[in-house]
Amino acid sequence: LFTLEGVLHAVLAIIGTALLGSPLLYYFHKVGLKFGEVYQEFGIAGMSDVIYLSYPWKLVVGTSGAIVIVTAIVSFVPTWKIALLKPTDALRGKMTRRKREGK
């Protein structure tokens, strides 16, 4: 249940980022990122004053998938460790592990 909650937080974060960040990304895709005279002082040859950003779908989907996978792992590990504790001792703040059923 906690792992599902973590994954849902990741999905909501991806949706929120897409809604709030899309106008800014679209602006830099159409207008470009202008450096002006400051950029010319760097002395990098072959670069224009304006850089037009592009965001391929593979990059967006791959990054979103990686975020969901990492969030699921990060949500699962503490839950798994808590599940190994004795419930009564965990409520008291003691960290004793539960004995396995077969041993």
Tens-digit pLDDT profile for residues 30-77 = 988 887 666 666 666 666 777 888 888 898 889 888 988 888 888 888
For 85-100, how does the pLDDT look when each residue is reduced to its tens digit (9 = 90+)? Answer: 777 777 777 766 666 6
pTM: 0.61
Angle at 95 between CA 89 and CA 99, to 5 degrees: 75
Residue with the larger pLDDT of the pair 88 and 101: 88
Q: In the structure, what pLDDT confidence band is assigned to residue 82 with cuts at 50, 70 and 90? A: confident
- pLDDT at site 38: 67
What pLDDT score was predicted for residue 37?
67
CA distance 90 to 69: 28
Please give the C-alpha separations between residue 59 and each of 23, 33, 53, in angstroms, as whole numbers: 18, 20, 13
Residue with more model confidence, 17 or 50:
17
Say what the pLDDT of residue 99 is.
65
